[in-house]
Amino acid sequence: MSDRIPVQLIPTFEPAAPKIKARSTDNLIHTRSFTGLFRNLRISGAGALFLLFFGTVWLDWGGRQAVLWDLSESKFHIFGATFWPQDFILLSALLIIAAFGLFAITVFAGRVWCGYTCPQSSWTWLFMWCEKVTEGERNQRIKLQAAPWGLNKLLRRGAKHSLWLAISLLTGLTFVGYFTPIRPLAEALLTWQMGGVSLFWVLFFTGATYLNAGWLREAVCMHMCPYARFQSVMFDKDTLTISYDAARGEIRGPRKRDVKPANIGLGDCIDCQMCVQVCPTGIDIRDGLQMECIGCAACIDACDSIMDKMGYARGLIKYTSEHQLQGGKTHLLRPRLIGYTAVLLVMIGALVVALVQRPMVSLDVSKDRGLFRENSAGQIENIYSLKIINKTQQRQDYQLSLVDSDGLVLQGQTHLSLAAGEIVDVPVSVAMLSEHPAKGSQEMTFKVADSDEPGIYSLAKSRFVAPMNR
């Protein structure tokens, strides 16, 4: 008897319903309008960002622009404080604080920065709103894209790009206005008298805004932003991310509103694709956590609205952790998060202390290239140039002196009066009282102190050179 191949029954499945793609045939993402709690939070965050960015530049403080990074004068005005290049260490501390703040929030709740307050996301949502106002809802925009060019399409597209360009121009003007006084800059733009350099930078940032928020959009988040690449390294099983509850939602399928899912062997997901249609990066969150997810929670709002209509409990898509999805409990306090938070608090404290103790007068010393000389009194003398900066907002009187410099005397102008923000170069000489120095070089310290408030001072070290005593 010949051997027979055993027959195996192959299970068959019902064909799945066609999946609605996030991208249309033009390969563009056309998002659908929605409402919800997280949308309102995002609008509030973006609104605060826009108010801060567009509003602060127009504020005045003490007769000048409140926030101005004056590169030509090397002065950085932030309300009542003026910072100088010597204070750049504070900028480094601020950047470190921002980095650890981003690390801490990422460990705790994923990419919420991207979804709620990132400028790229905020301007993209604004441009998408312009698109909705001028071209209609999602289906209307898809039809308009596929339609041949005509008067209706030309007018709608023209209105959309006009709004985009207006917002981009305002953005570029505002950004440059933080480095060049905004009022003269705006007046020069309106009267077509703007200088070449200023015009170049305004047009450059206008074009960058128009390109990034209008055309690149999700490509910036997915391919150009490094945050998307290293975020997975910072996630753990207790990180709160936007997740689909597959145990509750599967098996997916449409049904009537009054039918209970358990009675027909389905889960709570009705496969309406709303979560896909509202996603600004065009992903399906039901496929699991993906690099492209920016944590904007649009899918949560959309899904919750469908659950409300079906009479189901909210939270099929929600902020949750991997531990919680597996039936465990989310641990809020964990070593990595505590470590980042501790470093963040230490850095903030150090920055506050540095700002409070920041000397309001600056002193730099440059020694003349000549080693030494003999003055008319027969004393050994060295020449120095002192650069003094009054960092306060008022005129100040200062006293120059030497500290811990035995046998040396300061000669020249020792009393100074400087206006607010004034920089002066003061030539002085230091003479040695002894005719026979014990050594050829010794360290000394210059001091500049406020005449009325001796506690405000600055020190700078240098060296005095004399011939060796043989």
Q: Is 63 exposed, middle or buried (0-12, 13-18, 19+ CB in 10 A)?
A: exposed
The DSSP 8-state label assigned to residue 420 in this structure reads T
Q: Tell me, what amino acid is at 462?
A: S
Report the chain's terminal Cα–Cα distance, integer Å.
Answer: 121
Residue 68: strand, helix, or coil: strand
**At which residue do the structure tokens 């997280």 appear?**
38
CB count in 10 Å sphere of residue 35: 10
Radius of gyration of the chain (CA): 33
**Could you write out the DSSP letters of every residue in 352-404?**
HHHHHT--SEEEEEEE-SS--EE-TTS-EEEEEEEEEEE-SSS-EEEEEEEES
Compute the distance between CA of residue 17 and CA of residue 276 in angstroms, rounded to an integer.
Answer: 15
CA 409 to chain centre: 51
pLDDT score of 9: 42
Using a 10 angstrom Cβ sphere, with 0-12 exposed, 13-18 middle and 19 or more buried, the burial of residue 192 is: exposed
**How many Å separate Cα 169 from the centre of its chain?**
20
Question: What is the C-alpha separation between 364 and 458, in angstroms, rounded?
Answer: 9
Separation CA 22–CA 32 (nearest Å): 10
The reply to whether CATH 2.60.40.10 applies to domain 361-465 is: yes
Residues 93 and 96: their CA atoms lie apart, in Å, by 5
Enumerate long-range contacts of 39-44, CB under 8 Å, 24 or more apart.
39/297, 39/298, 39/301, 41/116, 41/297, 42/115, 42/116, 42/125, 42/296, 42/297
Q: With beta carbons less than 8 A apart as the criterion, state whether 400 and 448 touch.
A: yes
Q: List the chain pLDDT tens, one digit each, 470 residues.
A: 444 444 444 343 344 444 544 555 567 899 999 999 999 999 999 999 999 999 999 999 988 899 999 888 888 999 988 888 878 888 889 999 999 999 999 999 988 999 999 999 999 999 999 999 999 999 999 999 999 999 999 999 999 999 999 999 999 999 999 999 999 999 999 999 998 999 999 999 999 999 999 999 989 988 888 887 777 788 889 999 999 999 999 999 999 988 899 899 999 999 999 999 999 999 999 999 888 899 999 999 999 999 999 999 999 999 999 999 888 899 988 999 999 999 999 999 999 999 888 888 999 999 988 778 888 888 889 999 999 999 888 899 999 999 988 889 999 889 999 998 889 999 999 998 876 666 778 889 999 999 988 888 999 999 998 887 64
pLDDT for res 469: 64
pLDDT value at residue 5: 46
Give the pLDDT confidence score for residue 225 in this predicted structure. 87
> Read out DSSP for 271-311?
---HHHHT-TT---GGG---TT-----HHHHHHHHHHHHHT
Q: How many CB atoms lie within 10 A of CB 86?
A: 16
Conformation bin of residue 205: beta by default, left when phi > 0, alpha when psi is -120 to 50: alpha
DSSP state letter for 67: E
Smallest Cα–Cα separation from 139: which of 317, 20, 300?
20
- The span from the CA of 104 to the CA of 268, in Å, is 34
pTM (predicted TM-score): 0.83
Residue ranges matching CATH 2.60.40.10 in the chain: 361-465
Report the alpha-carbon distance of residue 24 to residue 146 in Å, rounded. Answer: 9
Q: Which long-range contacts (CB under 8 A, 24 or more apart) does 250-253 make?
A: 252/286, 253/17
